Amino acid sequence: MSVAERPRYRIGIDVGGTFTDLVLVSTDTGAVVRRKELTTPEQPEVGIMRGLEDLVRDVPDALTGAEHIIHGTTLVINAVIERTGPPTALLTTRGFRDVLELRRHKRNEVYDIRGDHREPLIPRELRFEVSARLRSDGAELAPVDEDEIAAVAARLAELGVASVAVCYLHSYLRPDHERATRDILARVAPELSVSLSSDVLPELKEFERTSSTAINAYSRPLVSRYLTSLESRLAERGTRGRLLLMHSSGGVLSTETAKAFPVRIIESGPVAGVLAAVHAGRQAGEDDVIAFDMGGTTAKACVVSGGTVPMTNEFEVARMLRLRKGSGLPVGVEAVDLVEIGAGGGSIAAVNERGLLGVGPRSAGAEPGPAGYGRGGTEPTVTDADLVLGFVSADSFRRPGLHPDAGLAERAILARVGEPLGLSLHRAAFGIHDIVNENMAAAISSYLAERGVDRTKRTLVASGGAGPVHAYGLARKLGIGRVIVPYAAGLASALGFMVAPVSYLASRALRVRFDAVSPAEVFATRQELADEVSDALELAAPGREVRLHAEIDACYSGQDYAVPLDLCERPEELTAQWVRQAFDAAYSRQYGYTYDDVPLDLVRVRVRGEAVDRGVPWSGTAAATVAGTATTGTRPAYDLATNEWAEFAVVVGDLLPEGTTVPGPCIIEQAETSVVAGSDATVVRLAGGHFLIEIS
């Protein structure tokens, strides 16, 4: 057991739809070992253990010597999208059982009369009303009726319901009724899993709060069962390090917390990708970046300032096809604030409703995939266009079951867009590449402008299978001159886990005029939240030093959108003047103006905590020491700088020594993607294995 005395590794496990990525990083050297295993959707822990056994073959003490095993899972989001959760019930205020179904009255598209809303996670027959009722100021209109709750519990038992969401009006201000309900249920139905809205999302607005609580209740039995099973398998293999779960706001938390609040881990994949981008940026000396990921179906972008990842409370899952705001299921729980665009390698090109060449949001997905994959797809995709333009080679996606064929891509493009629109093959392919870039540029520009960010001063960090292929064209459209492609861009998520801190967040909504605020009360709330955060951190990282950060959200009285302010240190500093100054600075940064004559409201108090961690920076340089000639030759490809075809140098990325500069036009081939740069750019291999595209 001597090897297990001192933990030497961290292991990251990212379970995706097709593959389970495993990454082991040595905490001593930063050296990385990677594994890819087929995902076993029915029981993901089977695929994980298979991958871990494979790791153990190379690194015998991988499991016994692991300090942490950090896991990101799409289990929650998949359960919500595919509706694989068990029957779940809702207990709510009398008169309001249809909140989940009425939504907000709004249709998804102004002119579309054919669209439907997502079905509620909890069907109408499992939504129960009770008589407990509060007023908006927290005063009680009707008390909790124990017999009534017990009768509902009996009915739930008959119906075989194992999990229930409790969401009463105004409970975000006063949770007593929900807590009393939980206590009654614990007595009469101890097996029942109970999720309170005042715990899951203590925020104003019943639809959003009920939706978030329903997602929590719905996914809870699945997540509990899965994590318990995974933990016991790991224990059987002698793992002593803790299993930690990636959560939606950029950190990791304990399995205990994940089992109680699975809604907090719903968006773990994209978040880890952003963290990996932050890390790559930092290694390259850039703290102000735009993390950009382009996969098969969607692209995502996130703006990072000073290394800080932005957060939102308006996150939604399972949006409808065009990804319109408001078309999904709201998850008010804090998540990384990113923009999602219906643009990926699989996005289908077609003549659109405007009679022009349109790309997306429909996607060919993994099945049949792009026409050029040779799996029966006949609709042209972005990847097909990239193939025709020479940016990717058919060989690069040769995998079991795929029969890549550039001819199929050409035929699909000509038949579906070239001929109907009178475009040559090359013009049509250019159009597809250009328009998908424009779709992303337009959405990213809006996202950045809404957040008051000057994009021209940013560096783009591009990952995902299609990200490095499109980053150069996208950057040109955005007026950005620098693009970093991180080491192992295709494994961004699993690597991001390595730098995710153990973190937790707690908040409490208030809504009071600042002039009526008692500083002592704010600081008392701050203390209660700090205790809650410390407890959660202790579960995930026992004995570790904890760093806390308190914020208050403020808004102009009457407005709805609040801006966060760092809370001052002591109650006596919390004066009207302090608040006004801090608010004006934050508001004008975002909106460019302030109102002197409008009073301010305090909306919520929030405490974030992090367990201090030295972090494990991985390094890609170890992999780049293989001898060989990097440059393999040239091939013709389309140069976006001159709008002409040119001979591009083709380089094997892993063989390119650190510090080498490759002048454009060039293509750097990587394991799962290609870095493309036109004649107005150069590519440099950086320390850490990253690539930097500089556009002049």
* Cα–Cα distance list, 204 to 81, 210, 400, 508 (Å): 25, 10, 51, 10
- Per-residue binder mask for another protein (CB under 8 A), 603-622, x = binder: --------------------
Smaller CB separation from another protein, 227 or 509: 509
- HEC per residue, 276-308: HHHHHHHHCCCCCEEEEEECCCCEEEEEEECCE
- Per CB under 8 A, which of residues 85..104 are in contact with another protein? 94-99, 101-102, 104
- Min separation Cβ 645 and another protein, Å: 5
Distance of CA 432 to the CA centre of its chain: 27
Smaller CB separation from another protein, 12 or 328: 328
* Cα–Cα distance list, 209 to 33, 200, 205 (Å): 42, 8, 6
Cα–Cα distance, 557 to 286 (Å, whole number): 38
Cα–Cα distance, 432 to 382 (Å, whole number): 6
Strands 19-26 and 482-485: unpaired
- Min separation Cβ 239 and another protein, Å: 46
Among 1, 42, 57, 114, which residue sits at the site for another protein (rule: CB under 8 A)? 114
User: Does an H or E element contain 51, and which?
Assistant: helix 44-58
> Where do runs of H (alpha helix) occur along 551-610?
576-591
**442 contacts another protein (rule: CB under 8 A):** yes
**353 contacts another protein (rule: CB under 8 A):** yes
- Min separation Cβ 418 and another protein, Å: 9
Q: Which of helix, strand or coil describes residue 582?
A: helix
**388 contacts another protein (rule: CB under 8 A):** no
**312 contacts another protein (rule: CB under 8 A):** no
**186 contacts another protein (rule: CB under 8 A):** no
Cα 168–Cα 172–Cα 177 angle in degrees, nearest 5: 45
- Min separation Cβ 322 and another protein, Å: 9
Taking Cα atoms as reference points, which of 584, 572, 581 lies closest to residue 518? 572
Among 131, 598, 615, 657, which residue sits at the site for another protein (rule: CB under 8 A)? 598
**Among the candidate windows 221-229, 420-428, 610-618, 652-660, which touches another protein by CB under 8 A?**
420-428
Among 67, 81, 107, 652, which residue sits at the site for another protein (rule: CB under 8 A)? 107
- Min separation Cβ 449 and another protein, Å: 6
**141 contacts another protein (rule: CB under 8 A):** yes
- Per CB under 8 A, which of residues 495..524 are in contact with another protein? 511
- HEC per residue, 182-229: HHHHHHHCCCCEEEEHHHHCCCCCHHHHHHHHHHHHHHHHHHHHHHHH
Residue identified by tokens 């890390």 is: 279
Among 556, 583, 618, 691, which residue sits at the site for another protein (rule: CB under 8 A)? 556
- Min separation Cβ 89 and another protein, Å: 14
Residue identified by tokens 């382009």 is: 294
* Cα–Cα distance list, 275 to 27, 315, 512 (Å): 18, 18, 35
**175 contacts another protein (rule: CB under 8 A):** no
Among 170, 182, 259, 685, which residue sits at the site for another protein (rule: CB under 8 A)? 170
Q: Exposed (0-12), middle (13-18) or buried (19+): which is 324, by Cβ within 10 Å? A: middle
Smaller CB separation from another protein, 42 or 137: 137
Among 305, 378, 446, 581, which residue sits at the site for another protein (rule: CB under 8 A)? 446
- Per-residue binder mask for another protein (CB under 8 A), 319-338, x = binder: -----xxx------------
Taking Cα atoms as reference points, which of 478, 463, 493, 405 lies closest to residue 17? 493
Among 82, 112, 256, 545, which residue sits at the site for another protein (rule: CB under 8 A)? 112
- Per-residue binder mask for another protein (CB under 8 A), 46-75, x = binder: ------------------------------
693, 482 Cβ separation under 8 angstroms: yes
Cα 430–Cα 656–Cα 464 angle in degrees, nearest 5: 45
44-58 helix and 206-236 helix, angle to the nearest 10 degrees? 40
C-alpha distance across the termini of the chain, in Å? 57
**426 contacts another protein (rule: CB under 8 A):** yes
Among 396, 559, 632, 634, which residue sits at the site for another protein (rule: CB under 8 A)? 559
Token pair listed for 435:
């328009």
Among 251, 295, 358, 689, which residue sits at the site for another protein (rule: CB under 8 A)? 358
> Where do runs of H (alpha helix) occur along 286-399?
382-388
The site for another protein, by CB under 8 A, has a size of 78
**356 contacts another protein (rule: CB under 8 A):** yes
- Min separation Cβ 136 and another protein, Å: 4
**266 contacts another protein (rule: CB under 8 A):** no
- Min separation Cβ 105 and another protein, Å: 4
Cα–Cα distance, 253 to 7 (Å, whole number): 19
Among 2, 5, 306, 354, which residue sits at the site for another protein (rule: CB under 8 A)? 354
Token pair listed for 185:
């249920």
- Min separation Cβ 275 and another protein, Å: 27
- Min separation Cβ 590 and another protein, Å: 9
- Per CB under 8 A, which of residues 203..232 are in contact with another protein? 204-207
- Min separation Cβ 118 and another protein, Å: 12
**443 contacts another protein (rule: CB under 8 A):** yes
**464 contacts another protein (rule: CB under 8 A):** no
**422 contacts another protein (rule: CB under 8 A):** yes
**558 contacts another protein (rule: CB under 8 A):** yes
**160 contacts another protein (rule: CB under 8 A):** no
**Among the candidate windows 44-52, 354-362, 490-498, 568-576, which touches another protein by CB under 8 A?**
354-362
Residue 99 CB partners (closer than 8 Å, separation 6+):
92, 167, 206, 207, 210
**479 contacts another protein (rule: CB under 8 A):** yes
**385 contacts another protein (rule: CB under 8 A):** no
Smaller CB separation from another protein, 38 or 449: 449
Smaller CB separation from another protein, 29 or 136: 136
67, 43 Cβ separation under 8 angstroms: no
Among 24, 214, 357, 565, which residue sits at the site for another protein (rule: CB under 8 A)? 357
388, 406 Cβ separation under 8 angstroms: yes
Give me the phi and psi of 384, to 5 degrees please.
-60, -40
Among 158, 596, 644, 659, which residue sits at the site for another protein (rule: CB under 8 A)? 644
**Among the candidate windows 77-85, 120-128, 245-253, 613-621, which touches another protein by CB under 8 A?**
120-128
- Min separation Cβ 133 and another protein, Å: 9
Contacts made by residues 570-574, CB under 8 angstroms, sequence distance 24+: 570/523, 571/519, 571/520, 571/522, 571/523, 572/519, 574/517, 574/519, 574/522, 574/523
**6 contacts another protein (rule: CB under 8 A):** no
Q: Exposed (0-12), middle (13-18) or buried (19+): which is 32, by Cβ within 10 Å? A: buried
- Min separation Cβ 428 and another protein, Å: 8
Token pair listed for 611:
């367990």
